[in-house]
């Protein structure tokens, strides 16, 4: 079975659970070839009104339960490397 294509620079994915809200959706984060970790949807930016993120990292090869992240992974889209202003529950 062939592996799904990934956006340039992405070497894998891992889930990330919000550290401040155990009921929040988990998101998928792209592991980059330079060691960075970026969310696969804008809502993965879950702190400071969408300008930062703070997560419990899942194991490499896992994905979150956010359907936006899932669509972006399936479409081999690039991760979201900058936050966008939106209300967040914490900080």
Confidence (pTM): 0.88
Q: Average pLDDT in the 16-29 region?
A: 87
> How far apart, in whole angstroms, are the C-alpha atoms of residue 1 and residue 16?
26
pLDDT value, residue 14: 97
Q: Average pLDDT in the 53-69 region?
A: 94
Average confidence score pLDDT of the chain: 89
Classify residue 6 by its DSSP letter. Answer: -
**3-class SS of residue 89:** coil
pLDDT level of residue 87 (50, 70, 90 thresholds): confident
pLDDT level of residue 1 (50, 70, 90 thresholds): very low
Angle at alpha carbon of residue 58, lines to 12 and 34, rounded to 5°: 40
């Amino acid at each position: 079975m062939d592996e799904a294509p990934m956006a340039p620079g992405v070497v894998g994915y891992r889930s990330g659970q919000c550290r401040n809200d155990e009921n929040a959706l988990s998101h998928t984060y792209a592991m980059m070839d330079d060691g960075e970790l970026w969310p696969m949807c804008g809502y993965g930016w879950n702190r400071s009104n969408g300008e930062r993120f703070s997560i419990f990292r899942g194991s490499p090869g896992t994905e979150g339960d956010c359907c936006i992240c899932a669509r972006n992974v399936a479409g081999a889209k690039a991760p979201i490397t900058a936050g966008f202003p939106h209300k967040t529950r914490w900080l």
